[in-house]
Chain A
Amino acid sequence: MKLKRSIAISDSGFLFNPITGDSFSLNPTATEILRLFQQGASESDVISFIQENYIVDKNTAEKDLQDFRDQLMHYKLIE
């Protein structure tokens, strides 16, 4: 999953898409996940990260990440 290059995310989790003008407030988990993707992490890296830092089984983490991915697709935030 690759975030669009021009997207900016602030430390507070505010995401701004300068192409569409859309802005979003991310919760801390979403902020961490998008930061990882911006740094080039793969989906399996992110699932491992979630499992290491949150009490969640692998299947749930995968499903939640898939849901999150769908939302990002819907808002045209990923390439």
Chain B
Amino acid sequence: MSSKPTYTVALTGLNAIDSPGPGMGVIRCLRNAESFDVRIIGLSYESLEPCIYMHDLVNKTYQIPFPSAGIDALYHRLSYIFSKEKVDVLIPNFDAELFNFIKLSERLEKEHSIKTILPSPEQFESRQKTNLYYYGLQHGIKVPYSKVIFSAADLSSIEKEFSFPVVVKGKYYDAKIAYQTEQIWQYFYKISNQWGLPIIIQQYIQGNEVNVCGLGDGHGNLIGAVPMRKLYITDKGKAWAGVTLNDDKLISITEAFVRSAKWKGPFEMEFVKTIQDEYYLLEINPRFPAWCFLTAGCGQNQPEALVNLAMNKQVVPFKSYQAGKMFIRYSSDLIVDISEFEKINTLGEL
């Protein structure tokens, strides 16, 4: 009989689709954990999120309300779920839902003993794309010069402040490169119609995109960090293959950031590395990325470390990882009986 503890972990991000949520990667890391066994409770938003039906990965799934329904609706649904399931750790995996989960985290711990490892509301807010330029200045990281645009009228001054090309970015998602003024207008309307205002105009930096998946303990210690370069990018801008890098400079930048910001929780930092070997920070995502299973594959099972941190177990920061480990994503068809689809649709759980 195993002497390892069994933890129940609830998580979101079950949409293993062409623009995948991180849930499946996190689950696979946890299923590969050496220090504990795990029972997975999936929290889904839509009834066709593939992981709902992957019973070898997810033990039970409950639907939860969309973030736009508000904190109270989420709290009531989670209270119901946690009255049915004795959950130890909760790992939210979507940018758009994080604010609600961060706000609820203390209450969930107090009332249901649910542990989380999440950034503070201030950390979460200050690394938003709209604040990133100043956040980078504050923590000594180069960020391409950016300007936040709240209305079309603000676009008139852009040509004086930027040279082409520029990147037009949505607050949460989407980014387009504009080579002339007309394109800025075009992308401004396209992105703001889809994702709302504000829009960010950012100096374009030529180079290779390199990302870091990491975990901070909230006291300034970097528990783990794995740099990865995307080798194949889909038309949605998502990595379909990538390789771990041996990049000491990038690790030092990450370490300095976590120390300075006292970052708590998982994160993905997206950088551009120029031909002069300079690094510019493009984004900080306050969650594990979809490719986080690569961290387990190269010797740093960061989701396992997160659960151990949450459970107040001693976690020794990772000192190394294997460079040259690749991930290659694939798609596959699940065969599912319609009765399962019916259950998640009508009962909201499966």
A23 vs B243: C-alpha distance in the bound complex, in angstroms? Answer: 10
Which of A19, A20, A21, A23 has the most B CB atoms < 10 Å from its CB? A21
In the complex, are the beta carbons of B324 and A20 less than 8 A apart? no
Per the CB 8 Å criterion, the residue count for chain B at the interface is: 14
| Interchain nearest-CB distance for B229 vs A (Å) | 3
Interface string of A2-35 (1 = CB under 8 A from B): 0000101000000010111101000000000000
Which B residues are CB-close (under 8 A) to A23?
243
Residues on A lying within 8 angstroms of B by beta carbon are: 6, 8, 16, 18-21, 23
Interface string of B223-238 (1 = CB under 8 A from A): 0000011010000000
A10 vs B242: C-alpha distance in the bound complex, in angstroms? Answer: 20
| Interchain nearest-CB distance for A24 vs B (Å) | 13
| Interchain nearest-CB distance for B259 vs A (Å) | 23
Q: List 20 A-B contacts (CB under 8 A).
A: A6-B323, A8-B324, A16-B324, A18-B244, A18-B245, A18-B324, A19-B245, A19-B246, A20-B208, A20-B229, A20-B245, A20-B273, A21-B208, A21-B210, A21-B228, A21-B229, A21-B231, A21-B242, A21-B245, A23-B243
Q: Which chain B residues (204-236) contact chain A, with CB distance < 8 Å?
A: 208, 210, 228-229, 231
A19 vs B244: C-alpha distance in the bound complex, in angstroms? Answer: 9
A62 vs B210: C-alpha distance in the bound complex, in angstroms? Answer: 37
A6 vs B246: C-alpha distance in the bound complex, in angstroms? Answer: 8
Residues on B lying within 8 angstroms of A by beta carbon are: 208, 210, 228-229, 231, 242-247, 273, 323-324
| Interchain nearest-CB distance for B252 vs A (Å) | 14
A19 vs B210: C-alpha distance in the bound complex, in angstroms? Answer: 11
Which of A6, A8, A19, A23 has the most B CB atoms < 10 Å from its CB? A19
| Interchain nearest-CB distance for A3 vs B (Å) | 15
| Interchain nearest-CB distance for B64 vs A (Å) | 37
| Interchain nearest-CB distance for B274 vs A (Å) | 12
| Interchain nearest-CB distance for A6 vs B (Å) | 6
A59 vs B229: C-alpha distance in the bound complex, in angstroms? Answer: 40
| Interchain nearest-CB distance for B309 vs A (Å) | 29
A38 vs B166: C-alpha distance in the bound complex, in angstroms? Answer: 42
Which of chain B's residues has its CB closest to A6's CB? B246
* Additional 11 contacts, C-beta under 8 A, given A21-B208, A21-B231, A23-B243: A6-B323, A8-B324, A16-B324, A18-B245, A19-B245, A19-B247, A20-B229, A20-B245, A20-B273, A21-B228, A21-B243
